[in-house]
Structure 1
Amino acid sequence: IAGELEGKANFVKVNADEEPELARNLQIEVLPTFVILKDGEVVDRKIGFMPKGDLQGAIESKF
């Protein structure tokens, strides 16, 4: 998805075990969790496995 949305969105992978404070700040309790931010604010959150098309659609709908 990152390649297909290059220039439209940035993607960051965070290891919650290595960055527990960030995970706590983003209220990540279940893995995987996809947090969609816009202008530094959480605008959506998807928890658990999602088919690629569903995740891409969720991201594109926010921008």
Structure 2
Amino acid sequence: MAIVNVSDSTFKNEVEGQGTVLVDFWAPWCGPCKMIAPILDELAGEVDATIAKVNVDENPESASRFGVMSIPTLILFKDGQPVDKVVGVNSKEALKSLITKHQ
């Protein structure tokens, strides 16, 4: 599946619907965020879940709403509800496992 960019105004429609969505809260100046980006690109083609990216500098409301204190923070949503969360860079295998355990 493709990676979608989500804003504060589109978060509800893009993330809080049906299905599984892994949301990456990131910023362009964040080194670890740059490290995880290619991992998420690969993961998008291998899992039955949407991967969404939220730039925290441009969309502080969404980050604040879900208690994002450091980035990258990845929150997994299942049918609109947050079900899991990881902070920092994780391996593709760890993220894939995170998604599959909630499907």
* TM-score of the two chains, using structure 2 as the length reference: 0.57
Map of 1:30-45 to 2, 5 A cutoff? Answer: 30-45=70-85
1:27, CA displacement in angstroms?
Answer: 1.2
Point out 4+ residue stretches in structure 1 off by more than 4 angstroms.
none
User: Within 1, Cα distance between the matches of 2:102 and 2:67?
Assistant: 20
The unaligned stretches of length 5 or more in structure 2 are 1-42
Q: Which has the higher strand share?
A: 2
The DSSP-based 3-state class of the residue aligned with 1:27 is coil
Whichever residue aligns with residue 65 of structure 2, its letter is N
Please give the alpha-carbon distance, in whole angstroms, between the structure 2 residues aligned to 1:42 and 1:35: 7
1:2 aligns with 2:44: yes
**Unmatched 5+ residue regions in structure 1?**
none
Q: Please list the CA deviations of residues 3-62 of structure 1 after superposition, one character each: whole Å capped at 9, or x if unmatched.
A: 111xx2111011011100010112111100110000110000001111111111111111
Higher relative contact order (CA closer than 8 Å, sequence separation 6+): 2
CA distance in 2, matches of 1:13, 1:34: 9
The corresponding residue for 1:62 is: 102
Task: Report what 2:53 is aligned to.
Answer: 13
TM-score by length of 1: 0.90
As a proportion of its length, which structure holds more helix? 2
Identity %: 38
Within 1, Cα distance between the matches of 2:65 and 2:44? 24
